[in-house]
Amino acid sequence: MGRLGNDRVTDPLRVGVVGLGRMGSYHAEALVDLDEVAIAAMADPRPGARGRAAQLHPQATLYADAAEMLDRARCEAVLVATPTPHHPGFVEASLDAGLHVLCEKPVALDPDESDRLGRLATSAGLVLQVGFWRRFASPWVAARDAVAAGRVGRPVLIRLSQWDADPPPPEFCDPAVSGGLAVDCGVHEFDLAEWLSGERLVGVRGEPMPIVEPRIGDVGDLDNLLVVGALHSGAKIVVDLSRNGRYGDDVRTEILGDSGAVFVDMLPHGRARIGTGDGVVDLPGSAAADAMRAGVRAQAAAFAARVRGAAVDVPDAFASSRAVRAALAAMRSLDSGAVEPV
Protein backbone atom coordinates (compact mmCIF):
# COMPACT_ATOMS: atom_id res chain seq x y z
CA MET A 1 0.00 0.00 0.00
CA GLY A 2 1.48 3.33 -0.93
CA ARG A 3 2.26 5.60 1.97
CA LEU A 4 3.53 9.15 2.16
CA GLY A 5 6.27 10.17 4.56
CA ASN A 6 3.70 10.95 7.26
CA ASP A 7 2.34 7.39 6.99
CA ARG A 8 -0.80 8.48 5.11
CA VAL A 9 -2.23 5.82 2.80
CA THR A 10 -2.23 7.02 -0.79
CA ASP A 11 -4.34 4.30 -2.36
CA PRO A 12 -7.19 3.25 -0.07
CA LEU A 13 -9.02 0.10 -1.12
CA ARG A 14 -12.23 0.99 -3.01
CA VAL A 15 -14.95 -1.08 -1.36
CA GLY A 16 -18.64 -1.55 -2.20
CA VAL A 17 -20.95 -2.51 0.67
CA VAL A 18 -23.88 -4.87 0.05
CA GLY A 19 -26.53 -4.75 2.78
CA LEU A 20 -26.98 -1.75 5.08
CA GLY A 21 -28.98 -3.24 7.94
CA ARG A 22 -27.81 -3.76 11.51
CA MET A 23 -24.28 -4.90 10.65
CA GLY A 24 -23.82 -3.17 7.29
CA SER A 25 -24.62 0.20 8.86
CA TYR A 26 -22.27 -0.65 11.74
CA HIS A 27 -19.47 -1.15 9.21
CA ALA A 28 -20.46 2.05 7.39
CA GLU A 29 -20.23 4.03 10.63
CA ALA A 30 -17.07 2.32 11.91
CA LEU A 31 -15.17 2.74 8.62
CA VAL A 32 -15.63 6.52 8.40
CA ASP A 33 -12.18 8.13 8.13
CA LEU A 34 -10.33 4.82 7.95
CA ASP A 35 -7.25 5.57 5.83
CA GLU A 36 -6.97 2.08 4.31
CA VAL A 37 -10.54 1.87 2.93
CA ALA A 38 -12.74 4.15 0.81
CA ILE A 39 -16.43 3.21 0.67
CA ALA A 40 -17.04 3.83 -3.04
CA ALA A 41 -20.51 2.29 -3.39
CA MET A 42 -23.31 0.92 -1.23
CA ALA A 43 -26.35 -1.19 -2.10
CA ASP A 44 -29.55 -2.00 -0.26
CA PRO A 45 -33.12 -2.24 -1.56
CA ARG A 46 -34.38 -0.17 1.40
CA PRO A 47 -34.22 3.60 0.67
CA GLY A 48 -34.07 4.50 4.37
CA ALA A 49 -31.02 2.29 4.90
CA ARG A 50 -29.29 3.86 1.88
CA GLY A 51 -30.12 7.35 3.07
CA ARG A 52 -28.61 6.88 6.52
CA ALA A 53 -25.42 5.32 5.12
CA ALA A 54 -25.11 8.06 2.47
CA GLN A 55 -24.80 10.68 5.21
CA LEU A 56 -21.70 8.85 6.48
CA HIS A 57 -20.13 8.34 3.04
CA PRO A 58 -21.41 11.14 0.79
CA GLN A 59 -18.88 10.25 -1.92
CA ALA A 60 -20.31 6.71 -2.33
CA THR A 61 -22.61 5.83 -5.23
CA LEU A 62 -25.88 4.29 -4.03
CA TYR A 63 -27.64 1.34 -5.60
CA ALA A 64 -30.97 -0.31 -4.85
CA ASP A 65 -29.79 -3.37 -6.75
CA ALA A 66 -26.54 -4.97 -5.58
CA ALA A 67 -26.08 -6.80 -8.91
CA GLU A 68 -26.01 -3.41 -10.62
CA MET A 69 -23.43 -2.21 -8.11
CA LEU A 70 -21.19 -5.21 -8.84
CA ASP A 71 -21.59 -4.53 -12.54
CA ARG A 72 -21.11 -0.78 -12.63
CA ALA A 73 -19.30 0.51 -9.55
CA ARG A 74 -15.56 0.96 -9.82
CA CYS A 75 -14.70 -1.16 -6.79
CA GLU A 76 -11.78 -3.43 -5.99
CA ALA A 77 -13.57 -5.29 -3.21
CA VAL A 78 -17.00 -5.99 -1.74
CA LEU A 79 -18.13 -6.07 1.87
CA VAL A 80 -21.10 -8.46 2.10
CA ALA A 81 -23.46 -7.72 5.02
CA THR A 82 -26.76 -9.09 3.78
CA PRO A 83 -28.73 -11.75 5.67
CA THR A 84 -26.59 -14.89 5.73
CA PRO A 85 -28.57 -16.95 3.15
CA HIS A 86 -27.63 -14.31 0.54
CA HIS A 87 -23.89 -14.53 1.28
CA PRO A 88 -22.90 -17.36 -1.10
CA GLY A 89 -24.60 -15.72 -4.09
CA PHE A 90 -22.98 -12.34 -3.51
CA VAL A 91 -19.60 -13.85 -2.66
CA GLU A 92 -19.57 -15.91 -5.85
CA ALA A 93 -20.80 -13.01 -8.01
CA SER A 94 -18.09 -10.78 -6.53
CA LEU A 95 -15.33 -13.35 -7.09
CA ASP A 96 -16.61 -13.90 -10.64
CA ALA A 97 -16.29 -10.15 -11.18
CA GLY A 98 -12.66 -10.30 -10.00
CA LEU A 99 -13.40 -8.55 -6.69
CA HIS A 100 -11.94 -9.40 -3.29
CA VAL A 101 -14.52 -10.08 -0.58
CA LEU A 102 -14.87 -9.33 3.11
CA CYS A 103 -17.99 -11.32 4.04
CA GLU A 104 -19.91 -11.06 7.28
CA LYS A 105 -19.97 -14.26 9.27
CA PRO A 106 -20.60 -16.98 8.40
CA VAL A 107 -19.63 -17.16 4.72
CA ALA A 108 -22.38 -19.76 4.29
CA LEU A 109 -24.78 -21.72 6.46
CA ASP A 110 -23.60 -24.86 4.62
CA PRO A 111 -19.93 -25.47 5.47
CA ASP A 112 -19.32 -27.39 2.24
CA GLU A 113 -20.52 -24.34 0.31
CA SER A 114 -18.15 -22.16 2.31
CA ASP A 115 -15.25 -24.49 1.48
CA ARG A 116 -16.22 -24.39 -2.21
CA LEU A 117 -16.17 -20.58 -2.18
CA GLY A 118 -12.83 -20.64 -0.36
CA ARG A 119 -11.37 -22.83 -3.10
CA LEU A 120 -12.88 -20.54 -5.74
CA ALA A 121 -11.21 -17.50 -4.16
CA THR A 122 -7.88 -19.30 -3.89
CA SER A 123 -7.92 -20.40 -7.51
CA ALA A 124 -8.86 -16.88 -8.63
CA GLY A 125 -6.07 -15.36 -6.52
CA LEU A 126 -8.61 -13.24 -4.60
CA VAL A 127 -8.97 -12.61 -0.87
CA LEU A 128 -12.12 -14.01 0.75
CA GLN A 129 -12.09 -12.99 4.41
CA VAL A 130 -14.84 -13.70 6.97
CA GLY A 131 -15.93 -11.11 9.53
CA PHE A 132 -14.48 -12.59 12.72
CA TRP A 133 -13.70 -9.11 14.08
CA ARG A 134 -12.54 -10.26 17.50
CA ARG A 135 -9.31 -11.53 15.88
CA PHE A 136 -8.42 -7.87 15.17
CA ALA A 137 -9.60 -6.20 18.40
CA SER A 138 -6.71 -5.24 20.69
CA PRO A 139 -7.91 -7.14 23.83
CA TRP A 140 -8.01 -10.46 21.95
CA VAL A 141 -4.85 -9.70 19.95
CA ALA A 142 -2.97 -9.06 23.22
CA ALA A 143 -4.45 -12.22 24.75
CA ARG A 144 -3.39 -14.37 21.82
CA ASP A 145 0.10 -12.88 21.80
CA ALA A 146 0.47 -13.68 25.52
CA VAL A 147 -0.74 -17.26 25.04
CA ALA A 148 1.41 -17.79 21.96
CA ALA A 149 4.45 -16.49 23.87
CA GLY A 150 3.83 -19.16 26.52
CA ARG A 151 3.17 -16.63 29.26
CA VAL A 152 0.42 -18.77 30.87
CA GLY A 153 1.93 -22.11 29.91
CA ARG A 154 -0.02 -24.84 28.16
CA PRO A 155 -3.73 -23.97 27.78
CA VAL A 156 -6.00 -26.38 29.64
CA LEU A 157 -9.35 -24.54 29.50
CA ILE A 158 -10.82 -21.74 27.39
CA ARG A 159 -14.09 -20.20 28.57
CA LEU A 160 -15.95 -18.06 26.05
CA SER A 161 -19.10 -16.12 26.88
CA GLN A 162 -21.22 -14.16 24.43
CA TRP A 163 -24.22 -12.54 26.05
CA ASP A 164 -26.15 -10.19 23.77
CA ALA A 165 -28.31 -7.52 25.40
CA ASP A 166 -31.52 -8.46 23.61
CA PRO A 167 -32.59 -10.87 20.88
CA PRO A 168 -32.80 -9.66 17.27
CA PRO A 169 -36.28 -9.93 15.70
CA PRO A 170 -37.63 -13.51 15.63
CA GLU A 171 -37.62 -13.47 11.83
CA PHE A 172 -33.81 -12.94 11.98
CA CYS A 173 -33.35 -15.64 14.64
CA ASP A 174 -35.14 -18.18 12.43
CA PRO A 175 -32.44 -20.84 11.84
CA ALA A 176 -33.18 -20.70 8.10
CA VAL A 177 -32.09 -17.02 8.14
CA SER A 178 -29.39 -16.71 10.82
CA GLY A 179 -28.42 -20.34 11.29
CA GLY A 180 -29.83 -20.14 14.83
CA LEU A 181 -28.01 -19.13 18.01
CA ALA A 182 -25.30 -21.83 17.80
CA VAL A 183 -24.27 -20.75 14.30
CA ASP A 184 -25.13 -17.05 14.41
CA CYS A 185 -23.33 -16.30 17.69
CA GLY A 186 -21.37 -19.48 18.30
CA VAL A 187 -19.16 -19.22 15.21
CA HIS A 188 -17.26 -16.30 16.75
CA GLU A 189 -16.49 -18.32 19.86
CA PHE A 190 -15.57 -21.60 18.14
CA ASP A 191 -13.25 -19.64 15.88
CA LEU A 192 -11.70 -17.80 18.85
CA ALA A 193 -11.07 -21.10 20.65
CA GLU A 194 -9.09 -22.44 17.66
CA TRP A 195 -7.31 -19.15 16.97
CA LEU A 196 -6.32 -18.52 20.60
CA SER A 197 -5.08 -22.06 21.15
CA GLY A 198 -3.63 -22.71 17.70
CA GLU A 199 -5.47 -26.05 17.83
CA ARG A 200 -8.46 -27.65 16.14
CA LEU A 201 -11.68 -28.53 17.91
CA VAL A 202 -12.32 -32.27 17.84
CA GLY A 203 -15.69 -32.69 19.57
CA VAL A 204 -18.50 -30.73 21.22
CA ARG A 205 -21.58 -31.41 23.31
CA GLY A 206 -24.41 -28.92 23.73
CA GLU A 207 -26.52 -28.53 26.87
CA PRO A 208 -30.02 -27.11 26.46
CA MET A 209 -30.92 -24.13 28.62
CA PRO A 210 -34.23 -22.42 29.35
CA ILE A 211 -35.84 -20.36 26.58
CA VAL A 212 -36.48 -16.85 27.90
CA GLU A 213 -38.28 -15.26 24.92
CA PRO A 214 -41.08 -17.57 23.67
CA ARG A 215 -41.12 -15.90 20.22
CA ILE A 216 -37.56 -17.17 19.69
CA GLY A 217 -38.72 -20.68 20.51
CA ASP A 218 -41.68 -20.23 18.14
CA VAL A 219 -39.31 -19.82 15.16
CA GLY A 220 -37.36 -22.92 16.17
CA ASP A 221 -34.36 -21.23 17.76
CA LEU A 222 -32.83 -21.08 21.25
CA ASP A 223 -31.91 -17.95 23.17
CA ASN A 224 -29.47 -19.60 25.60
CA LEU A 225 -27.03 -22.43 24.96
CA LEU A 226 -24.11 -24.05 26.75
CA VAL A 227 -21.49 -26.01 24.79
CA VAL A 228 -18.58 -28.01 26.18
CA GLY A 229 -15.88 -29.08 23.76
CA ALA A 230 -12.40 -30.54 23.43
CA LEU A 231 -9.37 -29.33 21.51
CA HIS A 232 -6.89 -31.68 19.90
CA SER A 233 -4.52 -31.59 22.90
CA GLY A 234 -7.32 -32.55 25.29
CA ALA A 235 -7.74 -28.99 26.55
CA LYS A 236 -11.41 -28.15 27.07
CA ILE A 237 -13.59 -25.25 25.98
CA VAL A 238 -16.81 -23.97 27.52
CA VAL A 239 -18.96 -21.69 25.38
CA ASP A 240 -22.07 -20.01 26.76
CA LEU A 241 -24.32 -18.01 24.49
CA SER A 242 -27.27 -15.85 25.47
CA ARG A 243 -29.56 -13.34 23.82
CA ASN A 244 -30.82 -11.86 27.10
CA GLY A 245 -27.88 -10.25 28.91
CA ARG A 246 -29.90 -6.98 28.99
CA TYR A 247 -27.02 -4.74 30.19
CA GLY A 248 -25.16 -4.67 26.83
CA ASP A 249 -23.64 -6.87 24.15
CA ASP A 250 -20.95 -8.57 26.20
CA VAL A 251 -18.15 -10.92 25.22
CA ARG A 252 -15.70 -12.37 27.75
CA THR A 253 -12.90 -14.85 27.19
CA GLU A 254 -10.68 -16.60 29.73
CA ILE A 255 -7.72 -18.82 28.91
CA LEU A 256 -6.47 -20.94 31.78
CA GLY A 257 -2.97 -22.32 31.27
CA ASP A 258 -0.87 -24.49 33.52
CA SER A 259 1.04 -21.46 34.83
CA GLY A 260 -1.50 -18.64 34.76
CA ALA A 261 -4.50 -17.21 32.97
CA VAL A 262 -5.54 -14.46 30.57
CA PHE A 263 -8.83 -12.62 31.00
CA VAL A 264 -10.49 -10.59 28.20
CA ASP A 265 -13.36 -8.19 28.89
CA MET A 266 -15.31 -5.99 26.54
CA LEU A 267 -17.50 -3.99 28.96
CA PRO A 268 -17.42 -1.29 30.08
CA HIS A 269 -14.19 -1.03 28.09
CA GLY A 270 -12.11 -3.57 26.22
CA ARG A 271 -9.08 -4.87 28.08
CA ALA A 272 -7.05 -8.03 28.64
CA ARG A 273 -5.31 -8.96 31.88
CA ILE A 274 -2.81 -11.65 32.69
CA GLY A 275 -2.71 -13.48 36.00
CA THR A 276 0.44 -15.32 37.10
CA GLY A 277 2.15 -16.08 40.41
CA ASP A 278 3.20 -12.41 40.38
CA GLY A 279 -0.43 -11.18 40.44
CA VAL A 280 -2.87 -9.82 37.89
CA VAL A 281 -1.89 -6.98 35.54
CA ASP A 282 -3.24 -5.38 32.36
CA LEU A 283 -1.66 -6.58 29.12
CA PRO A 284 0.00 -3.55 27.48
CA GLY A 285 -1.72 -2.38 24.31
CA SER A 286 -4.90 -4.33 25.03
CA ALA A 287 -7.17 -1.41 26.00
CA ALA A 288 -9.95 -0.32 23.63
CA ALA A 289 -12.70 2.14 24.51
CA ASP A 290 -15.04 0.24 22.16
CA ALA A 291 -13.54 -3.16 21.36
CA MET A 292 -16.06 -4.07 18.64
CA ARG A 293 -15.64 -0.79 16.77
CA ALA A 294 -11.86 -1.07 17.05
CA GLY A 295 -12.02 -4.68 15.86
CA VAL A 296 -14.24 -3.86 12.88
CA ARG A 297 -11.90 -1.03 11.80
CA ALA A 298 -8.75 -3.13 12.25
CA GLN A 299 -10.41 -6.03 10.41
CA ALA A 300 -11.06 -3.79 7.38
CA ALA A 301 -7.52 -2.41 7.52
CA ALA A 302 -6.13 -5.96 7.60
CA PHE A 303 -8.35 -6.91 4.66
CA ALA A 304 -7.04 -3.94 2.66
CA ALA A 305 -3.45 -4.80 3.55
CA ARG A 306 -3.97 -8.43 2.56
CA VAL A 307 -5.49 -7.39 -0.77
CA ARG A 308 -2.47 -5.13 -1.33
CA GLY A 309 -0.21 -8.16 -0.83
CA ALA A 310 0.84 -7.92 2.81
CA ALA A 311 1.36 -11.26 4.60
CA VAL A 312 -1.41 -10.54 7.12
CA ASP A 313 -3.13 -13.52 8.75
CA VAL A 314 -6.88 -13.17 8.10
CA PRO A 315 -9.72 -15.63 8.79
CA ASP A 316 -10.89 -17.20 5.54
CA ALA A 317 -13.84 -19.24 4.26
CA PHE A 318 -12.28 -22.40 5.73
CA ALA A 319 -12.18 -20.82 9.21
CA SER A 320 -15.86 -19.98 8.70
CA SER A 321 -16.75 -23.53 7.70
CA ARG A 322 -14.84 -25.05 10.65
CA ALA A 323 -16.73 -22.79 13.06
CA VAL A 324 -20.08 -23.64 11.44
CA ARG A 325 -19.26 -27.36 11.65
CA ALA A 326 -18.63 -26.98 15.39
CA ALA A 327 -21.96 -25.16 15.81
CA LEU A 328 -23.85 -27.81 13.82
CA ALA A 329 -22.19 -30.58 15.84
CA ALA A 330 -23.31 -28.86 19.06
CA MET A 331 -26.89 -28.75 17.75
CA ARG A 332 -26.74 -32.44 16.74
CA SER A 333 -25.60 -33.33 20.22
CA LEU A 334 -28.73 -31.77 21.72
CA ASP A 335 -30.62 -34.62 20.02
CA SER A 336 -28.05 -37.39 20.40
CA GLY A 337 -26.98 -36.52 23.94
CA ALA A 338 -23.46 -37.55 22.91
CA VAL A 339 -20.24 -35.69 22.15
CA GLU A 340 -20.37 -35.06 18.40
CA PRO A 341 -17.21 -34.91 16.27
CA VAL A 342 -16.50 -31.57 14.62
Q: Which residues bind ligand NAD (CB under 6 A)?
A: 18-24, 43-46, 49, 66, 81-84, 86, 104-105, 131, 133, 172, 184
Please return the burial class of 284, using the count of CB atoms within 10 Å of its CB with bins 0-12, 13-18 and 19+. Answer: exposed
Phi/psi at 42 (5° precision): -145, 140
Nearer to ligand NAD, 175 or 203 (CB): 175
Helix (H) or strand (E) run with residue 278 in it: none
Nearer to ligand NAD, 9 or 183 (CB): 183
Residue 82, SS3 per DSSP: coil
Cβ proximity of 165 and 266 under 8 Å: no
CB of 66 to ligand NAD, least distance (A): 4
CA distances for 116 relative to 55, 123, 316, angstroms: 37, 11, 12
Q: Which residue is nearest to ligand NAD (CB)?
A: 21
134 vs 144 by CB, closer to ligand NAD = 134
Give a three-class secondary structure readout of 37-67: EEEEEEECCCHHHHHHHHHHCCCCEEECCHH
Q: Which is nearer to ligand NAD, 178 or 224 (CB)?
A: 178
Q: How far is the CB of 330 from ligand NAD (least distance, A)?
A: 17
**Least distance (Å) between residue 134 CB and ligand NAD:** 8
How many Å apart are CA 145 and CA 196, to the nearest integer? 9
CB of 86 to ligand NAD, least distance (A): 5
CB-nearer residue toward ligand NAD: 173 or 330: 173
- Nearest-approach distance from CB 44 to ligand NAD, in angstroms: 4
Nearest distance from residue 191's CB to ligand NAD, in Å? Answer: 11
CB neighbours of 163 closer than 8 A, spacing ≥ 6? 240, 241, 242, 244, 245, 249, 250, 251
Instruction: Name which of 24 and 118 has its Cβ closer to ligand NAD.
Output: 24
